[in-house]
Amino acid sequence: MFKFDKEKLEQQANKLVQKSGDLMESGKIRLNITNLEKEINTFKSELGNTLYKAYKDGGEVESELQVLCRKIDEKYEEIEKLQQQLDELKNKE
């Protein structure tokens, strides 16, 4: 017959809770990465618009371009950190 093992059931339940927490955390990290990628695309669009406007106006906007490039680099650094967190969660399994 089937023998009920309460301790084993509790262990499995704890594993499920941990796994669901990890999946939730992983989803949050992925969402953050997606949002950062959208911000990067916005900055790149601004960068292109600023450059084109400078071209059309015959002026220079080098400092504005540098600011936008730095913002893009910062977002890429944030994505890299989040990707490391995601990798740590995957390796935890």
Share of the chain above pLDDT 70, in %: 97
Q: How confident is the model at residue 2, as a pLDDT?
A: 67
| More confident call, 78 vs 1 | 78
Residue 64: pLDDT band (50, 70, 90) is confident
- Give the span between the Cα atoms of 36 and 75, in whole angstroms: 6
Residue with tokens 């309460």: 6
